[in-house]
Amino acid sequence: MSDAGTPKTLRLLHVEDSEDDALLINEEFIAAGYQLSATRVDTAEGLRHALQNGPWDLVITDISMPDFDAVNALAIVNETNPDIPCIVVSGAIGEEAAVALMKAGASDFIIKQSLSRLAPAAERSLREVAARRERSEAIAALRESETRFKSLATNIPGMVFQSRLKADGSAEILYASEGAMAVYGVLPSVLIEQPGTMADMVHPDDRESFLQARIESHRSGTARNWEGRIRVGEDKEIKWVNLRATARRLNDGVVMSEGIVNNITESKLAEERLRRSREQLRQLSAHVDTVREDERAHIAREIHDDLGGTLTAAKIDLEWLRKRLPGDATDMLGKVNNADALLDHAIDSARSLSRRLRPVVLDHGLIAAVEWQAKEFAARTGIDLDVACPNDEIELAPKVSTALFRVFQETLTNVARHAQASMVSVELVSDGDVVTLIIQDNGCGMDLSAAAKEGSFGLRGMRERVDTLHGQFILDSGPGNGTRIEVNIPLPGSKVDETQPLEAGFQDNSDPVRKVS
């Protein structure tokens, strides 16, 4: 049978001992507009052979033949291909016989005196068969899809679920995969039969966020991505889980959600171990910096007090010797003068080395140290420095002052070596919660990909100093656009939580260098 709009074709198999009756039936179908392909058989063997060499759209059988009848024909058709509709055509048929034929599988029966009903009955039977076939195919496809889904859900490392939130606010779990046992320690049937189990197992400290995430997802129809703790088993074992689900609202107000719950305990523990490791490294780095600064201060004092004192004493002795030399001891006087000049040079070198190791001026405050370093840098390099310190005084812990001063020193060293700058602006300011140091030059800038490469110890050292104080280090640069370094360090007792480091970052800008505010 063909679709509407195309010629109707019919592959017809007659089970009939009268060729004339078969021709009459053919004429009825031709008159109804069918393009007919028909074959006639009148024995069981002929019927089996024809069915095996089909295909056929319709079988029409006489009720009784000399060696064969409709009941036997229907049995053979049902055995060979039960999807082929069979219509019984008879000169006369009783009610009991008609019922028996219908039970045997006949689609319909037609009296030979009413062959005009044949074509409509055949069309109805063909439609019913097509509908049954489509329904069977749909059921088979659904079963295959369910089997495939269950197979996938079973092999996913987590629990796949489907839930429903009714308009009255009640919720239920419609489906839970076998992963329920691995995640929640219960069978899927428990979650389905006791819908509140999932929420009840959430840790009390995380339950509010769990319920809020579910409410918001159901309200807005957006995806839900929640992480939190659950308590599993009689011993209330703590697990971390991640729940991802997508909600969709149906016309009747019901909200359906499909999602997956994964056990992320191991990754959370790994994160915690990494966090502790980083904190230990930060503490170690801070300790190393402290030891290094203490050692520098100790060496600076030794140079200033011991070596400086010794050189000064030698200079005094040399002056005593000069005064007692005879006036005509010209050669000896020249040697004394040369030694005196060497002592002056050594004293200057010792003082300079002592200041570089630990500037004494840093003991008078960070602002004074920054201004002193800026003047020394400008005198040594010829690069103009504009220092702005709006605060008259900034009270800082020694470790903070030292860290900011070392960042300032290292930045000026980089400017002198690489920046090709003619101007550097410096701003040191505090708002009571955070102290900020901003250093910006008008030089050639830098490729920030080089900032993270191996061997960039200067930049890495600055970041580590700032990290140990839970601060923020921002490097902002671009080729031809100069370089800007900003350091923000939270002050003790401020509103900023020192246990949460400020966000650091690198910024590569193609716009002109930003001006210091």
Confidence of residue 100 (pLDDT cuts 50, 70, 90): confident
In 3-state terms, what secondary structure has residue 504? coil
Mean pLDDT confidence for 289-295 = 70
Whole-number pLDDT of residue 455: 53
| Per-residue confidence band for 7, with pLDDT thresholds at 50, 70 and 90 | low
Q: Is the pLDDT confidence value at 514 over 50?
A: no
pLDDT digits (tens, 9 = 90+) for 40-70: 998 888 988 998 888 889 999 888 887 788 8
Q: Token pair for residue 123?
A: 């069309």
Top-confidence residue, 2 or 360: 360
Instruction: Report CA 47 to chain centroid distance, whole Å.
Output: 65
pLDDT at 305: 66
Q: What pLDDT is attached to residue 413?
A: 87
List the single range of 89-98, 201-210, 256-265, 335-344 with lowest mean pLDDT: 89-98
Rounded to whole angstroms, the Cα distance separating 62 from 112 reads 10
In this prediction, residue 157 carries a pLDDT of 79
- Would the CA dihedral through 99, 104, 107, 112 be positive or negative? negative
Mean pLDDT of 157-166: 85
Give me the mean pLDDT over the 384-399 stretch.
85
| pLDDT, tens digit (0-9, with 9 covering 90-100), for 231-271 | 998 889 999 999 999 888 887 778 888 889 999 999 888 88
Alpha carbon distances (Å) from 137 to 22, 40, 54, 221, 345: 34, 31, 21, 33, 102
Which of 55-59, 378-382, 412-416, 507-511 has the weakest average pLDDT?
Answer: 507-511
At 61, list the tokens.
């059988």
The CATH code for residues 8-136 is 3.40.50.2300
Predicted pLDDT at 172: 87
**Does pLDDT of 288 surpass 90?**
no
Tell me which fold the domain 361-508 belongs to. Heat Shock Protein 90 (3.30.565)
SS (H, E, C) 207-270: HHHHHHHHHHHHHHCCEEEEEEEEEECCCCEEEEEEEEEEEEECCCCCEEEEEEEEECHHHHHH
Tokens of 503: 């966000």
360: pLDDT strictly greater than 80 = no
Q: What pLDDT score was predicted for residue 132?
A: 85
Q: Which candidate, 265, 268, 205, places its Cα nearest to that of 237? A: 265
Q: Would you state the pLDDT for residue 457?
A: 64
Total-model pTM: 0.46
C-alpha 36/C-alpha 14 separation (Å) is: 12
Which residues partner with 239 through β-bridges?
Answer: 230
The whole-number pLDDT of residue 155 equals 66
Least confident of 9-23, 77-91, 435-449, 486-500: 486-500
Which pLDDT belongs to residue 517?
A: 26
More confident residue, 314 or 384: 384
Q: Give whichever of 309-313, 492-496, 509-513 has the largest mean pLDDT.
A: 309-313
* Angle, CA 71 vertex, CA 68 and CA 73 arms, to 5°: 60
Long-range Cβ contacts of 100-106 (<8 Å, 24+ apart):
100/71, 101/63, 101/70, 101/71, 101/74, 104/70, 104/71, 104/74, 104/75, 104/78, 105/74, 105/75, 105/77, 105/78, 106/70, 106/74
> Distance between CA atoms of 53 and 284, rounded to whole angstroms?
87
Element (H, E) at 273: helix 265-301
Sign, Cα dihedral of 74, 80, 85, 89? negative
Mean pLDDT of all residues in 508-512 = 36
Residue 306's identity, in one-letter code, is D
When pLDDT is cut at 50, 70 and 90, the band that residue 461 belongs to is confident
Residue 218 CB coordination number (10 Å):
21
The per-residue pLDDT for 426 is 93
What the block records as the tokens of 132 is 């049954």
Question: Any idea where the domains of the chain sit in the sequence?
Answer: 8-136, 157-263, 269-356, 361-508
Q: What is the pLDDT of residues 25-47, one digit of tens each?
A: 898 889 888 888 899 998 888 98
Among the four given CATH numbers 3.20.10.10, 3.40.630.10, 3.30.450.20, 1.10.10.10, the one describing domain 157-263: 3.30.450.20
Listed range (119-128, 246-255, 280-289, 341-350) with the worst mean pLDDT: 280-289
Q: What is the mean pLDDT of the chain?
A: 81
86-109 average pLDDT score: 80
Residue 508 confidence class, pLDDT cut points 50, 70, 90: very low
